[in-house]
Amino acid sequence: MNDTLSLIRSARSKRQRRFVILTALLGLISVVLCFMMLMIGNTIYPVKDVIRVLFGEEVKGASFAVGTIRLPRMVAGVFAGFAFGAGGYVFQTMLRNPLANPNVIGITTGSSAAAVFCIVILHASLATISIAAVMGGLCTVLIIYFLAKGSSFSIGRLILIGIGIQAMLNSVISYLLLIGNQHDIPTAMRWLSGSLNGLKLETLYPLIFTVILLTPILIMYGKQLEMLELGDQTATSIGVNVNRTRIMLMISSVLMIALATATTGPIAFVAFLSGPIANRIMGTGFSNIIPAGLVGVILVLAGDLIGQHAFEARYPVGVITGILGAPYLLYLLVRLNRKGGL
């Protein structure tokens, strides 16, 4: 008996060490990409100049390029990537389906429709657009949730309703772009593509505050989230308050994703890819919320570096992540269809 307990503790200790090491490795890759975002541009600055600028020193040329242009871009990529990655992982785990993520079931599309309405119809300020995008995402998830709930909650029904809502909202966006002022269309299209261009540090504070505030809530409910993956009945039998847990996780995730969408636009497939990649790297047995968030950071920062510097033309980060995510979505649909999961 003691030998068995010792083996169990040893195996768990090894899994914990592996989890910590891999999470630290993802964090290290994120830090390297952050420095690359600050160093690389029309002029490449050495690490020492970047560090001096970050500590408030005046460095000729670097202070403006790094502090004013590249730093807000990097900070937006970090916090938006983490929000998309962690939020997408929560939805996929909670609803036990890789298709049940904000990109596919229409939450980011709800934010986009609200933002486009403010841009092309109301000609609103950036603050108003951000608020509208958040409210659009929240309203969309509430509509989907209550339509899917019925007499009993159904994950399949939620996904199908979400896909239908997304199609409807995409039609609304197309209509708004059709009737909108032609001078506003480029702004709306840049926003819809998902981009880190033109951001200022002061406009990122709501996103930064939201991610810092809500990430501990997601971590706190991480264990219950893993229990939800076993099914509602099993989770209830081991003491999980299923409704409260689901509501807290859903509200926290939607707020993070909606704020990220309001700030950078809907960066395609980051929420969709981060969870599966994190699960493949980390394995199971622990909550992968933080690893999924870090994978989201890596996808956004790497995608932006590729889009800005790998080609003759410059492409928004959403174009690059969309190219990466679309084949995986097709693969997943084919695989689920063969298994009878659709």
pLDDT of residue 342: 54
**Residue 62, in any domain of the structure:** no
Q: Report residue 61 as tokens.
A: 């040329």
Residue 6 confidence (pLDDT): 64
Residue 332 has pLDDT above 90, yes or no: no
pLDDT of 148-179, one tens digit each? Answer: 776 666 777 888 888 889 999 999 999 999 88
pLDDT value, residue 94: 86
Average pLDDT over residues 317-322: 91
Q: Which of 270, 297, 246, 229 is nearest to 101 (CA)?
A: 270
Residue 116 lies in a domain: yes
**Domain CATH code at residue 134:** 1.10.3470.10
Residue 37 falls inside a structural domain: no
25 pLDDT more than 80: yes
Residue 218 is predicted with a pLDDT of: 94
Report whether pLDDT(33) > 60: yes
Which stretch, 6-10, 34-38, 146-150, 259-263, has highest mean pLDDT?
Answer: 34-38
Question: Per the domain annotation, does 165 fall within a domain?
Answer: yes
Check: CB of residue 234 under 8 Å from CB of residue 227.
yes
Q: Cα–Cα distance between 3 and 5 in angstroms, integer?
A: 6
The reply to whether 210 falls in a domain is yes
Residue type at 253? S
Name, in order, each residue with C-beta under 8 angstroms of 32's C-beta and a sequence gap of 6 or more.
none
Q: How many domains, the chain? A: 1
Q: How far is CA 64 from CA 59, 61, 234, 264, in A?
A: 9, 6, 56, 22
Kindly report the length of the chain: 342
Quote the CA–CA distance of 211 and 301 in Å, as a whole number.
17
Categorize the per-residue pLDDT at 15 as very low, low, confident or very high, splitting at 50, 70 and 90.
Answer: confident
Instruction: Annotate 233-259 with DSSP letters as a single string.
Output: HHHHHTT--HHHHHHHHHHHHHHHHHH
Which of 3-17, 37-51, 319-333 has the largest mean confidence? 37-51
| CB neighbours of residue 206 within 10 Å | 15
Phi-psi region at 9: left, alpha or beta (left = phi > 0; alpha = psi -120 to 50): alpha
Report pLDDT digits (tens) over 52-89.
Answer: 999 888 888 888 889 889 999 999 999 999 999 999 99
- What integer pLDDT is reported at residue 1 of this predicted model? 54
State which residues form the domain around 238: 76-339
Residue 57 covered by a domain: no
Percent of the chain with pLDDT over 90: 34
20-51 burial, b if ≥16 CB within 10 A, otherwise e?
eebbeebeebbeebbebbbbeeeeebeeebbe
Residue at 17 is within a domain: no
Return the pLDDT at 23. Answer: 94
Look-up of token digits 């290290």:
28
Mean pLDDT of 305-323: 90
Instruction: Please list, residue by residue across 113-122, b when 16 or more beta carbons sit within 10 angstroms of its beta carbon and e when fewer do.
Output: bbbbbbbbee
- Residue scoring higher pLDDT (98 or 209): 209
Position 256 in a domain = yes
Percent residues over pLDDT 70 in the chain: 92
> Residue 24's pLDDT is what?
96
User: Which region among 49-53, 63-67, 188-192, 278-282 has the lowest average model confidence (pLDDT)?
Assistant: 188-192
Q: What is the mean pLDDT of the chain?
A: 86
| Calpha distance 147→100 (Å, rounded) | 15
Quick one: tokens of 20?
Answer: 């910590």
